[in-house]
Chain A
């Protein structure tokens, strides 16, 4: 664990918790893409299938449970909370996100480290995470305005991506075995999409 990864994990956690708490406190999810939230919940569930098979650290296990629980809670609120669901901007959230799921899964079937259920779902989660922000990006461009909640959420997510890239550079320089190009390329694509989002956010 280096400082960049810890900072990345904490900003990632903050992005999700701030979103969940604000949605719950204000009873509104206006401006938030439910499709992006669906994708993130799928990302965490698919990636953390190793929760019961591979123990890495107490920190890792707790964070995995928190990420799954909080992302599922956001989706639950947006779908089923009687007041929150009324504030959902359905007509602006039009991205066909199931294409992303299908394409990511197809890519995972082709590009993976081993042909096992866990490895394929792990690769799927990496590819899907890289593009999961797209429905939110499209929604932002359609609505044309960034409110505080969306802005903070994307700011923390962008910070998480930036710290993780620094973490990878650090690990690349300090660890002997570092050759997982699947995650690296996907991570760079994901960060580039956030850079686009930031650009749009700042010119507003």
Chain B
């Protein structure tokens, strides 16, 4: 699961 803020954002 990706929860690595903020690389999982745009």
Q: Which residues of A contact B (CB under 8 A)?
A: 5, 9, 12, 50, 54, 56-57, 60, 63-64, 67, 122, 164, 167-168, 171, 175, 177-178, 180, 183
B7 touching A9 by the CB < 8 A rule? no
Alpha-carbon distance A183/B6, docked complex (angstroms): 7
The interface residues of chain B, by DSSP majority, are classed as loop
A60 touching B10 by the CB < 8 A rule? yes
The interface residues of chain A, by DSSP majority, are classed as helix
Q: Which residues of B contact A164 (CB under 8 A)?
A: 9
Alpha-carbon distance A18/B10, docked complex (angstroms): 19
Chain B nearest Cβ from A30, distance in angstroms: 29
Alpha-carbon distance A5/B4, docked complex (angstroms): 15
A180 touching B10 by the CB < 8 A rule? no
B8 touching A180 by the CB < 8 A rule? no
Q: Which residues of A contact B2 (CB under 8 A)?
A: 56-57
A180 touching B6 by the CB < 8 A rule? yes
Alpha-carbon distance A164/B10, docked complex (angstroms): 10
Chain B nearest Cβ from A49, distance in angstroms: 12
B5 touching A180 by the CB < 8 A rule? yes
Partner of B3, one of A5, A67, A177: A177
Chain A nearest Cβ from B8, distance in angstroms: 5
Residue on A nearest B4 in the bound complex, by CB: A177
Residue on A nearest B8 in the bound complex, by CB: A56
Residue on A nearest B2 in the bound complex, by CB: A56
Q: Which residues of B contact A177 (CB under 8 A)?
A: 3-5
Partner of A63, one of B4, B5, B6, B10: B10
Partner of A12, one of B4, B5, B10: B10
